[in-house]
Structures are given as C-alpha cells and as structure tokens.
Structure 1
Amino acid sequence: MERIILDVDSAGDDILAVLFAAAHPDIKLEAVTTVTGAAGPIEQVTDVVLNTLSVAGRDDIPVHAGGWRPIVGNSKEDMEAPVHFEKRLTARFGERLKKFNPPAPAPKRPATSGHAVDVILRTVLDNPGEITLVTTGPATNAAMAFLQEPKLAGALKRMLVLGGNFVTPGNITPLSEYNIWADPEAARIVLNAEVDKILVPLDICEDNRVADSMLTRDDISDMQAAAKNNPVVDMIADTFPIYIDIWREFFDLVGFPMDDVITLALAIQPDLVGTTPPLFADVVIEKGVARGQTVAHRGRQLLPVSGPKTTRIAQTLDGKRFLKMFKDTMALYERGN
C-alpha cells in the first residue's frame, strides 16, 4: 500500500487523478492539497476537489487549501492566460464550453482546516520514509514546505513531479511547460531538493508518440458499455468529451492527455516509464521566453555546474498498460462493488 499526498491545481486531468487515487486498492490517499494554477483561484481549485471526492463517495479524505499565488510568478495577464484559454475557443465550441473548467458549485463540505504546507510537513515528518508526495500542478506548496523545514527531504519516501519538457515543445512558451513556468522559483527549489524524484515531462504525456495513453471518445464508450451503475463513469462521460475535442483540435493530439494520472500511477507501477539515470535538473528563472525552461545536466560541458543528482526524467511510457489500469480503476466505482 502506497501512502500518498496528492497536490493538485484541478485542471481537467487532476480530477481524473483524484478519482484514480481515491479508488485504487494499492493507494492510501492521506490527503489532497490544492494550489492555484491552471484551473483558477484557490477557492475554485479546492471546491473542484471537494466535489470530485463527493462524486467518488470519499468525503472521508482530507482536502487542504494551499498556496493562493506563486512565490514570484509572471505578469497578471500571463498568469491568467490558462483560465481564459476557453475564450479563444468560443467560436468553435460555443455552448459546449460550459463543460470546460466550469465554476465549481458549492461543495457539500468545507475544506479541512490547516494549510496544505503544514499538512505536508506534519504527515511526512510523523511518518518518515513512508509518504510519497505527488505534485501535478505548480510546485508552490512543495517548495514552501522545503523552505520551511530542511528535514523534509530526508523524511520523504520519494516525489513524483509533473512538469517540464525536453523534446516536445512547451505549452506556454516554446521552451516552457505550464507547471514549471507558473512558479519556476518553486520548481527550482523542488528539483534541487535532496530527495529521490521522477520528473514526468510533456514528452511522455502530450505528444502523439504516446497516443495510446490518451483518453478518447472510444475509451469513454468502452467504460460506459461495461458500467451498469457507475456515477464516476457517468461524470467522465458527461464532462470529458469537450476536453478530448479541444486537445484534438487546438493541440493536434489524438485524445486528451492524462499527465496527472500518469504521474500518480508511478507511485504503484514505476515501471510504466523508462527513465534517465539520476541527474541534476534545474530551471531557468530569468525573464524572457526561456523563463520556466527545465534543463537536464546529462552531458559534459566546459562550464562547471553542480547540483544534486536526484531527478530521474521519464522518457518512455507503456501507454496501453497505463490506460487499461485507469479504466480498470474507474470500474471499481460500480455501485455494488
């Protein structure tokens, strides 16, 4: 049983990651922590998680709100770009966009008391070597925890970090992926932390070379055909077709990439990916088009660079096995199981 803290920004596939973590029999979800990111302000992010867990019948899982803004961030206009992304799609999708990142209704329960950073620190330090921290949004909460408590790195079992790009072009700038770009100072702190981690970049998530890992309308139909009374599959079938269509038409992908679920799944099946050896990875924090670029030191350069070789970068993915695992886990929400 893997004990997990899942740190999310509730942007589409974060919802699927929460559902996966809440149902998989090999995962004990200690808490979900939230951070401002692609879905909007911290209230929206947190309410989405609370509502998702209610659909899953898991209102027992603590949900703690965290960082409401990045440590430094970028211009206000640029930071809001992902939230206003749908405005560029109105002419094509019209009323159907109401299913894309809608304002969350009031949840049935409030967030659990206690800031996300405090919960991460308390849970990890009270259970040294047992907790895996999975970050699928900007790394703000994790970075603040490392800054607050130097003992955290030694107490974590491992980290799984979604972010960066090395071969696939970035989705914010040509060089930068959203999670890293949204809080590059935080990402740099996390990647420089002396803790074993796997970094999951766009290369194995949002690239048609791993098309067999993406959610399609056919996959939703398969889940519906197998379901008799499954509220989670019903929710996915209602919500995610518009996500599939947007990623097909705007990003030229064959389906909706499930970056967050892939990252989380490595907690229980790390061999889903092939990785580099442990190396030093860093982040560009200077202003400009390269801000947020993730840099892997994997060669021999003339200028000396030093840093902890604690990051393994995922380079390949067994997409078919991953997608089957996801579908099998969603089937566990069948009422009566």
Structure 2
Amino acid sequence: MQRIILDVDSAGDDILAVLFAAANPNIKLEGVTTVTGAAGPIEQVTAVVLNTLSLAGRDDIPVHAGAWRPIVGNSKADMQAPVHFEKRLSARFGDRLKKFNPPAPTPKRAPTPGHAVDFIIKTVLDNPGEITLVTTGPTTNAAMALLQEPRLVGALKQMLVLGGNFATPGNITPLSEYNIWADPEAARIVLNAEVPKILVPLDICEDNRVASSMLTRDDIADLQAVAIQNPVVAMIADIFPIYVDIWREFFDLVGFPMDDVITVALAFAPDLVTTTKPLFADVVIEKGVARGQTVAYRGRQLLPGGGPETTRIGEGLDGKRFLQIFKDTMALYERGDRA
C-alpha cells in the first residue's frame, strides 16, 4: 500500500482524485492539503475537499488548508480567468453551468488545525522514505515546504507532479499549462529539487492521442449500470456531464480529461505511463506568453546549463487500463463498502 499526501486546488478532476485516493485499496491517504488555484479562493478549495470526503464517508482523513496565493503569481485578472471561465460558455450551456464549479456548501466539519506546509513537513519527516507527495494543482505548498525544510529532499519517497506541456499546446497560454503558469516560481523550486519525481504533462492527459483515458457520457452510464446504492456514482452522474460537454466543445477533446486521477494512480501503478529517463526540467519565469513554460533538458544543447536530473516526464499512457481502474475504484463506494 502506497502512502500519499494529496495536494489539490479542487477543480473538477481534483474531486475525482480525492474520491479515488480515499477508496483505492492500494493507497493510504494520509491527508489532503489545499492550495488556491483553478477553483478559486482557499476557502472554496478547502470546503470542496471537506464535502467530498464527507460524501465518501471519510471524515477521518485530515484536511489542511494551505497557500491562499501564489509566491509571485500573475495579474489579478489573469489569475481569476479559470474561475470565471464559465462566463464564456453561458450562451451555449445556460443554467447547466450551475453545476460547473458551484460555490461549496458549508462543510460538516472544519479543516484540521495547522497549515498545509507544516503538515507536509511533519508527516514526511516522521515517516522517512514512506510518503509520496502528489500535487494536482499549483505547487505552492510543495515549494514552500521544500524551502522551509531542506531535509524533505532526502525524506520524501517521491513526488508526482501534474503540470507542464511539451508536444501538446498549453491550456492557459499557447506555451503554458495552468498548474505551472499559476505559480511558476514554485514550480521551478519543485522541479529543481533533488527528489525523484514524475511530471505528468498535458501530453498524456489533455490530448486526443490518449482519448481512451477520458471520461465520457458512456463511461458515466457504465458506472450507473452497476450502481445500486452508490452516492459517489450518483454525484458523478449528476455533476460531470457538463464537464464532459465543455471539454468536448471548448477544448475539442473526446471527453473530460482525468489528469489528477492519473497522477494519483501512478503512486501504485507507475507502469500506466511510459516516461523519459530522469532529466532536468525547468520553468520559464519571465513575463510574457512563455511565462510558465516547462522546458526539458534532453542533453543536446550546445550552451551549458541544466540542473538535477531527477524528473521523468510522462510520454505515453495506457488509457484504457487506467479508466478501468478508476471505474473499479468508484464501484467500491457501493453501499459504502470500500475494500
């Protein structure tokens, strides 16, 4: 069983990642930490996680609120663009958008006392070599933890980082993926850290070359077909069709990409992806369209440069196998029965 801390910003697929990590028998979810990102302010992000774990029947899992803003960030208008994304879709989808990133109801419980960064540091140092840190939003908390406690470098088992793009165009600028762009200074700290890590880019998540990994209306129907008393499947069937439709019509994908869940799954099934050899990956932090661009040093440059060769970049994905693992895990919520 793989022990993980899951750091999220509570966008749509983060919800599925929390549910996946809380139920999968190959994972022990030590805690969830939250960071401001695509879903809005830290209060919204944290409330979504608390409500999701309550739905899962896992109020025993600690939830620590973290960074309420990036280390540096971008303009206020640009940072808010993902949160207000649905306004561009109102003419097409109308009232159906009410189910897309809605304000979270007041949770049944409060967040666990203590900042996310302190929780990450303590948990990892108390369990050296045992904890995988999975980041599926901006990497602000992870960067702050690495800066605050240098011993994390030797104590983490590995990091699984959702972010970046190489062959696939960016989803925030033509060159940049959202998680990296939202806090490129933090991403640079994380990618420069001498910790073994897998970087999961848009190339193996939000590209029709990996269409078999995406959630479609047919997949939701498959989940419903075997569900009798499954509150999680009922929620997915209620909420996620609008996500499927938006990603089909706006991003020209065949379904809703499962970036965050894929990243979590690598904790126990790393063979789901093919990767590069360990190399140095860096981030552009200068202003402009390239801010947040992820750069891989593949060893054929004439000018000197580079850094720790600790990052393997995902290049291929067994999407069909991944999606079956996801469906099987969601089925464990039948009558609250989790193996």
TMscore range, shorter length: over 0.9
* Structure-2 residue corresponding to 1:192: 192
Residue 7 of structure 2: aligned partner: 7
Counterpart in 1 of 2:104? 104
Tell me by how many angstroms 1:306 deviates.
2.8
Quote the Cα distance in structure 2 between the aligned partners of 1:283 and 1:43.
28
Q: Confirm whether residue 136 of structure 1 aligns to residue 130 of structure 2.
A: no
How many pairs were matched up?
337
Shift of 1:302: 1.3
For 1:19, give the aligned amino acid: L
* Residue of structure 2 equivalent to 1:211: 211
Q: Deviations over 1:124-161 (max 9, x none)?
A: 00100000000000000000000001110110000000
Measured at CA, do residues 45 and 130 of structure 1 come closer, stay the same or move farther in structure 2, by a change above 3 Å?
Answer: same
User: In structure 1, how many angstroms separate the alpha carbons of the residues matched to 2:301 and 2:247?
Assistant: 38
Give the alignment's Cα RMSD to 1 decimal: 0.5
Distance 2:287 2:319 in 1: 36
Q: CA deviation at 1:300?
A: 1.6
- The aligned counterpart of 1:244 is 244
TM-aligned CA distance change 1:20 to 1:221, over 3 Å: same
CA distance in 1, matches of 2:251, 2:189: 30
Cα deviations by residue, 1:60-114 (Å, 9 ceiling, x for unpaired): 0000000000000000000000000000000000000000000000000000000
Structure 2 unaligned regions, length at least 5: none
The equivalent residue for 1:230 is 230
Aligned partners of 1:260 and 1:253: how far apart in 2?
16
* 2:150 counterpart residue number: 150
Q: Which residue of 1 aligns with 2:323?
A: 323
Aligned twin of 2:90 = 90
Tell me, what secondary structure is at the counterpart of 2:335? coil
In the alignment, the residues of structure 2 paired with residue 26 and residue 88 of structure 1 have an alpha-carbon distance, to the nearest angstrom, of: 40
Deviation of 1:336 after TM superposition, in Å, equals: 5.9
Tell me the distance in 1 between the aligned counterparts of 2:72 and 2:43: 20
Alignment of 1:1-337 (within 5 A): 1-335=1-335, 337=337
- Deviations 1:45-64 (Å, cap 9, x if unpaired)? 00000000000000000000
1:245 & 1:99 partners in 2: Cα distance?
12
In the TM superposition, structure 1's runs of 4+ consecutive aligned residues that sit over 4 Å from their partners are none
One-letter identity of the residue aligned with 2:182:
A
SS of corresponding position for 2:315: strand
State the alpha-carbon separation in 2 of the partners of residues 132 and 68 from structure 1: 23
Whole-angstrom distance in 1 between the partners of 2:300 and 2:228: 57
Q: Which amino acid aligns with 1:120?
A: I
Are the aligned partners of 2:277 and 2:312 in contact in 1 as well (CA < 8 Å)? Answer: yes
Distance across 2 between alignment mates of 1:206 and 1:97: 21
Amino acid at match of 2:18: V
Distance in 1 between residues matched to 2:336 and 2:186, nearest whole Å:
43
> Helix, strand or coil for the counterpart of 2:308?
coil
- Percent identity over the alignment is 85
Normalised to the residue count of structure 1, the TM-score between the two structures is 1.00
SS in 1 for 2:106: coil
Opposite residue 165 of structure 1, the aligned amino acid is: N
